[in-house]
């Protein structure tokens, strides 16, 4: 029944597992279609492990006879037999709210963090605000609310962040135990093959028809140069939208910043997703495109692809749901795919041209292994050669 390490073991419903989490003992089990956690508040010692096993047996017996105490009060270890740290009393204090702990955690860590991380901090805070259970000691009720009201993948992320927060709070002596430790492992996500679903490059002919459709569209021809650029470079949309004219030289383009959403709006971020910067060589095809979109009075700091309404960033979400979707819908014989397929198309066409994975990886900012496994997935139209 007892496991010395913190790895979860599969058990049938009603079977209570004794778990050692950071040298503190917990009981975990499934009952009534829900996962239950009881933090005993005692260290992992030979005597305490025996006490934990006794409590586990008691819970199993109560479940079998229909006498399970949903308040957990019956299963608390007596204070005379415990080694609870004095600060652990804070974990059940009605004045201590999880949202307050999260704010302290964020304040201690937010310096120097990226806009995306700051946005994530706000995302967690919003969920804590929505949750009707506020005290860390209500961890089971919080878990149940999340699993009932939040998608599984988001619930898993939330529990991971709350566990990190409570680990920090424990080290800071704000609470005695981390009630969310390893809870995220209880959320089982369905495995989805991204290779088969997300990677669907266009053929060369489809690419050219999409470009022509933008060029001939009365309302969205403004975006045609951007579409060409994405198809011809394989760069990420966030990199293209952040590109200034000063980063375009005679022979190479320097990608060294990207556009991200910080929770309030679009902002510039130094560096790229997987690297600080990347150089991309300018071929004849790309050189002609750059000449077509360059303005006589273009300033070095101006964006190459500004919003049609002002000199700011193009809203990628708005572009996708309006311009891209409507133009793609006008091409009835081309299956709809999201605009990120421009990147996959570039990589696949490079592979068709017998460009090495190492070279493609340098051009688009990925590892050769990723190119072989994901981006350079053979397209369906390639015929098997006669050998």
With a pLDDT cut of 70, the percent of the chain lying above it is: 85
Quote the pLDDT of residue 129. 92
Assess contact for 51 and 77: CB atoms under 8 A.
yes
Residue 382 lies in a domain: no
* Residue finishing a domain among 84, 108, 130: 84
Number of domains in the chain: 3
CB neighbourhood size of 136 (10 A): 26
Residue 182 lies in a domain: yes
With a pLDDT cut of 90, the percent of the chain lying above it is: 41
Question: Helix count (H) and strand count (E) of the chain?
Answer: 15, 8
What b/e readout covers 319-333, taking b as 16+ CB neighbours within 10 angstroms? beeebbeebbeeeee
For the ranges 29-38, 163-172, 317-326, the lowest mean pLDDT is seen at: 29-38
Assess contact for 183 and 37: CB atoms under 8 A.
yes
Q: Distance between CA atoms of 28 and 14, rounded to whole angstroms?
A: 10
Model confidence at 87: pLDDT above 50: no
The residue ranking higher by pLDDT, 7 or 352, is 352
Within this chain, do residues 325 and 367 fall inside the same structural domain, yes or no? yes
Confidence class for position 120, pLDDT limits 50, 70, 90: confident
Contacts 24+ apart (CB under 8 A), 9-16: 14/60, 14/63, 14/64, 15/60, 16/55, 16/56, 16/57, 16/59, 16/60
Residue 52 lies in a domain: yes
Mean pLDDT of 175-198: 72
Q: Distance between CA atoms of 200 and 202, rounded to whole angstroms?
A: 7
Q: Distance between CA atoms of 282 and 359, rounded to whole angstroms?
A: 15
Quote the pLDDT of residue 84. 35
Mean pLDDT of 161-171: 92
Within this chain, do residues 214 and 357 fall inside the same structural domain, yes or no? yes
Within this chain, do residues 186 and 315 fall inside the same structural domain, yes or no? no
Query: In the beta sheet, which residues pair with residue 170?
Result: none
| 208-233 pLDDT tens trace | 999 999 999 999 999 999 999 999 99
Model confidence at 1: pLDDT above 60: no
Domain that holds residue 182: 87-191
Assess contact for 381 and 203: CB atoms under 8 A.
yes
The residue ranking higher by pLDDT, 94 or 264, is 264
Residue 384 lies in a domain: no
Angle at 195 between CA 182 and CA 200, to 5 degrees: 140
pTM of the model: 0.55
Quote the pLDDT of residue 209. 96
DSSP structure string for 244-302: BGGGB-SSEEEE-EEEEE-SSSEEEEES-SSSS-EEEE--HHHHHHHHHH--TT--TTS
Within this chain, do residues 235 and 354 fall inside the same structural domain, yes or no? yes
CA 229 vs. chain centroid, Å, equals: 27
- Beta-carbon contacts of 377 under 8 Å, excluding residues fewer than 6 positions away, are 195, 199, 201, 344, 348
Residue 344 lies in a domain: yes
* Residue finishing a domain among 160, 191, 222: 191
The residue ranking higher by pLDDT, 352 or 375, is 352
Within this chain, do residues 184 and 331 fall inside the same structural domain, yes or no? no
Within this chain, do residues 248 and 353 fall inside the same structural domain, yes or no? yes
The residue ranking higher by pLDDT, 94 or 375, is 375
**DSSP code at position 11:** -
Assess contact for 99 and 134: CB atoms under 8 A.
yes
Mean pLDDT of 92-114: 82
Q: What is the mean pLDDT of the chain?
A: 83
Q: Distance between CA atoms of 158 and 293, rounded to whole angstroms?
A: 44
Within this chain, do residues 62 and 118 fall inside the same structural domain, yes or no? no
Model confidence at 69: pLDDT above 90: no
Confidence class for position 125, pLDDT limits 50, 70, 90: very high
Mean pLDDT of 241-252: 95
Within this chain, do residues 208 and 115 fall inside the same structural domain, yes or no? no
- Beta-carbon contacts of 271 under 8 Å, excluding residues fewer than 6 positions away, are 256, 257, 258, 277
Residue 381 lies in a domain: no
Confidence class for position 239, pLDDT limits 50, 70, 90: very high
Residue 385 lies in a domain: no
């Amino acid at each position: 029944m007892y496991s010395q390490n913190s790895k979860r073991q599969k058990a049938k419903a009603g079977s209570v597992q004794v778990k050692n989490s950071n040298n503190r003992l917990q009981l975990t089990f499934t009952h009534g279609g829900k996962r239950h956690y009881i933090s005993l508040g005692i260290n992992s010692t030979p005597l305490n492990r025996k006490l934990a096993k006794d409590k586990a047996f008691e819970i199993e017996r109560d479940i079998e006879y229909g006498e399970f105490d949903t308040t957990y009060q019956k299963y608390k270890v007596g204070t005379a037999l415990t080694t609870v740290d004095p600060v652990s009393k804070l974990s059940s204090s009605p004045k201590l709210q999880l949202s307050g702990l999260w704010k302290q955690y964020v304040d201690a860590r937010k310096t120097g963090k990226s806009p995306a991380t700051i946005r994530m901090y706000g995302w967690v805070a919003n969920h804590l605000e929505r949750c009707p259970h506020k005290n860390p000691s209500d961890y089971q009720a919080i878990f149940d609310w999340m699993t009932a009201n939040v998608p599984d993948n988001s619930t898993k992320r939330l529990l991971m962040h709350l566990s990190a927060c409570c680990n920090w709070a424990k080290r800071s002596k704000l609470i005695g135990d981390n009630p969310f430790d390893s809870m995220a492992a209880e959320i089982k996500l369905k495995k989805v093959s991204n290779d088969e679903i997300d990677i669907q490059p266009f053929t060369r002919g489809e690419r050219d028809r999409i470009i022509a459709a933008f060029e001939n569209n009365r309302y969205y021809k403004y975006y045609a140069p951007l579409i060409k650029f994405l198809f011809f470079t394989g760069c990420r949309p966030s990199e293209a939208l952040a590109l200034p004219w000063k980063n375009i030289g005679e022979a190479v383009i320097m990608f060294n910043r990207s556009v991200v959403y910080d929770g309030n709006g679009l902002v510039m971020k130094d560096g790229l997703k997987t690297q600080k910067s990347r150089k991309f060589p300018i071929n004849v095809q790309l050189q002609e495109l750059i000449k077509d979109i360059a303005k006589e009075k273009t300033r070095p700091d101006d964006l190459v692809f500004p919003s049609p309404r002002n000199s700011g960033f193009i809203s990628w979400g708005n572009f996708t749901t309006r311009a891209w979707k409507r133009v793609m819908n006008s091409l009835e014989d081309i299956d709809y795919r999201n605009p990120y397929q421009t990147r996959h198309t570039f990589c696949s066409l490079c592979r068709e041209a017998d460009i090495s994975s190492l070279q493609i990886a340098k051009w688009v900012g990925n590892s050769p292994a990723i190119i072989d496994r994901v981006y350079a997935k053979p397209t369906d139209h390639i015929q098997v050669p006669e050998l």
